[in-house]
Structure 1
């Protein structure tokens, strides 16, 4: 039996965190292929991207395997990376969008991998790799996300918007947050600990000064009454945070997978998302698992839902589908598993078709979570729709 009263903590990082800079660049490259490929007459189903980025003091290395149009040259990739760094806000001596040395080491996708993934003859498109992927949803927020992570993201998103608008000119792009939530009878009721570390451009500012700047955004991010007199604040606890981003710490694509998903409130399969086209089930099947879990909860079948999918490289159909309703289900898990297999094609091709993933929609996912976001008109965050809820309800009914 799960505990009813406890504390749970999740963290988030801003778009200027060194790892998130790398996630953003890698996802910009994915989007570049989905823009340039169709423009060059290439079927988007044939595009392949597996792009990793490393960033340190005025150095960026972009490496990986791709398949796409010849128009995507190293110079174009470098240009796209610079635009991403500029948009994030880095114009500092130690990391500047215009002056950083960018090395592009992309090469063609392995033929051995391609033969397993590509469709041909009687063979359907296979998964881009083996692995396990998880999806999760719960009723702790309107977006059906775990409360600690959702509000940790929201704090930094509001701070970022204020920085970009010039409302808080003293803050830099690099920031982290952490929120500890107290649960009572299984429901989130208050925040006991708040941690915010944010880069600041004025060396004279103290932790007390920074707290005065960020406190209104924290208060706006959290539900009314969740901050109490007992809430402990830890704002820039080291006392100074001027050197930030890749100049302060080396960044790598894929190092913030828990921030990207559920903040530790649910299992994670281990595969990162950013820099991967949707043939890679690390990404697309994780999106599908979230989509199904969210629709199960939205359908009223359960208050909480965890879904696991498993795949083998080159094999189209999932090896297994597992559902856990955490004791909150209105029907048996086995019945839900059967229903989900009926209402959605969970092959890599089926997922890409159902969610419309062959589009340049990925750079926007690189910060503030891949889940709990509003579906967008151009197909972004399509996995956050609840348009399958009625079909699930009917299938289990």
Structure 2
């Protein structure tokens, strides 16, 4: 790994059109899991000017059975969608929670998929699809995340909090950030560029109002980034196009699953290609990526490495992973192969099967809407939420390594 370099990551806010789609899809997942913990959900969302469209397949006791919707189910789905858009903050002519057109094209799960995934008399529950999943952790931040992505998320979270509270009434929901850091000896030492493009109220693209908006953004950056990273070297690009009044789904169509690098590690680690939002936890695109992050984070938290990448691979209908790969990038205190053996020896992980992952992390719960903006990783575990961010495997790893 190079000792000195520049690296950049971006984030997008809850009001970005793709993130609106992700949040709607995960709100639907939560709706069904709250009614049936064994529900199967694959929900895709399209958003554009005054329109939200759902498509995908489901199976949920008491909601959709034998090809029929339960009484009131369709109305509850629509209300969930409108509530999600309202909570994000869209009450604009081009996208308004109350007046947008809603279409629901969800239908029953394929019987051929179901037979591969469901447990049977002589087989454990299989993975919901084939694929490869990656997890990552590093010691650049307290939450063991890449610093460039961590600060990109934090800038937008602070701005969203001010928008919702009314402290920054000139902000609208659609915002993007980007942080470039200079690294020396593998550690971040200075911020060379900060990019923030935020949708704004009318008039905040010129004169004193534009100056007010830019001063506000610089204040937020100064509160989020450590002071020793900011200097005269830091260049700011705040709304570099000049105006950003039209945004969200009115400014650009949104789709579920188009921000997978924002959702994960900001480009600092590989990605298997599968999106998370809109999928129940039998889909290993989601659950195996969560357990891979959990393993990588615990390895770094245990002091076994400063940087760790985990890869898992699955086949549809097959319970056990096809492979487990650990790479500590030359920072490990023990051999990578020994860490792989230690992981396989920890019984509570359930052999990293889909059922074992869901049981250990407690994933069959309505906990996913919160994941759909500001990253699935690097979040604080609280109650049932973000259990893959816990560092409760440290003692088990050390014991398994002897």
If the TM-score is normalised by the length of the shorter chain, which range does it land in? Answer: over 0.9
Corresponding position: 1:135 with 2:135: yes
CA drift of 1:209 comes to 3.6
**Which residue does 1:13 correspond to in 2?**
12
TM-score (norm 2): 0.95
Counterpart for residue 338 of structure 1 = 341
Looking at structure 2, the residues matched to 381 and 217 of structure 1 have their Cα atoms a distance apart, in angstroms, of: 26
Structure 2 partner of 1:40: none
Structure 1 residues 392 and 11: CA distance shift in structure 2, 3 A: same
Residue in structure 1 matched with residue 255 of structure 2 by the alignment: 252
**Could you tell me which of 28, 41, 46 is aligned with 1:49?**
41
- Say which SS state the counterpart of residue 135 (structure 1) adopts: strand
Partner of residue 109, structure 1: 109
Which residue of the partner structure matches residue 357 of structure 1?
363
Query: Residues 70-95 of structure 1: CA distance to partner in whole angstroms, max 9, x if unpaired?
Result: 24722211110000000000000000
State how far apart, in whole Å, the 1-side matches of 2:387 and 2:160 are.
24
Structure 1 position 58, deviation (Å)? 0.1
Answer yes or no: is the 8 Å Cα contact 1:323–1:334 preserved in 2.
yes
Structure 2: distance between partners of 1:319 and 1:137:
22
Is 1:375 equivalent to 2:381 in the alignment? Answer: yes
Unpaired stretches in structure 2, ≥5 consecutive residues? 64-69
Instruction: Output the CA distance in 2 between the equivalents of 1:226 and 1:331.
Output: 32
Paired with 1:396 and 1:296, the residues of 2 have a C-alpha distance of 11
Confirm whether residue 321 of structure 1 aligns to residue 320 of structure 2. no
The answer to whether the 8 Å contact 1:210/1:236 transfers is no
1:22 corresponding residue in structure 2: 21
**Cα distance, 1:202 vs structure 2:** 2.0
Query: Of 56, 61, 78, which residue of structure 1 is paired with 2:53?
Result: 61
CA distance in 1, matches of 2:376, 2:226: 22
State the distance in 2 between where 1:259 and 1:204 align: 27
Q: In structure 1, what is the equivalent of residue 236 of structure 2?
A: 233
Moved more, 334-343 or 159-168: 334-343
- 2:218 maps to 1:215: yes
Report what 2:194 is aligned to. Answer: 194
Instruction: State how far apart, in whole Å, the 2-side matches of 1:197 and 1:215 are.
Output: 12
CA distance in 2, matches of 1:215, 1:158: 12
Deviations 1:340-389 (A, max 9, x none): 11222200000000000000000000000000000011x11000000001
Matching of residue 162 in structure 1 with residue 179 in structure 2: no
Match of residue 393 from structure 1: 398
Are 1:348 and 2:354 counterparts? yes
| 1:293-304 → structure 2 map (5 Å cutoff) | 293-304=296-307
Q: C-alpha distance in 1, partners of 2:198/2:212?
A: 12
The corresponding residue for 2:66 is none
Distance in 2 between residues matched to 1:182 and 1:329, nearest whole Å:
24
Structure 1 runs not aligned, ≥5 long: 38-43
Report the Cα distance in structure 1 between the residues aligned to 2:89 and 2:21, rounded to whole angstroms: 14
Say whether the 8 Å CA contact 2:170–2:204 is kept in structure 1.
no
Matches of 2:21 and 2:345 in 1, distance apart?
38
TM-score w.r.t. the length of structure 1 is: 0.96
How much has 1:227 moved relative to structure 2? 1.1
Equivalent pair of 2:10/2:179 in contact (CA under 8 Å)? yes
Structure 2 counterpart SS, 1:358: coil
Question: How many Å separate the matches in 2 of 1:202 and 1:162?
Answer: 18
CA distance in 2 between counterparts of 1:131 and 1:228 reads 43
Deviation at residue 210 of structure 1 after TM alignment: 2.1
**Count of equivalent residues:** 388
**Deviation of 1:208 (Å):** 3.5
Q: CA separation in 2, counterparts of 1:321 and 1:230? A: 42
Q: In the TM superposition, what are the counterparts of 1:166-177 in structure 2 within 5 Å?
A: 166-177=166-177
Contact in 1 for aligned 2:191/2:229 (Cα 8 Å): yes
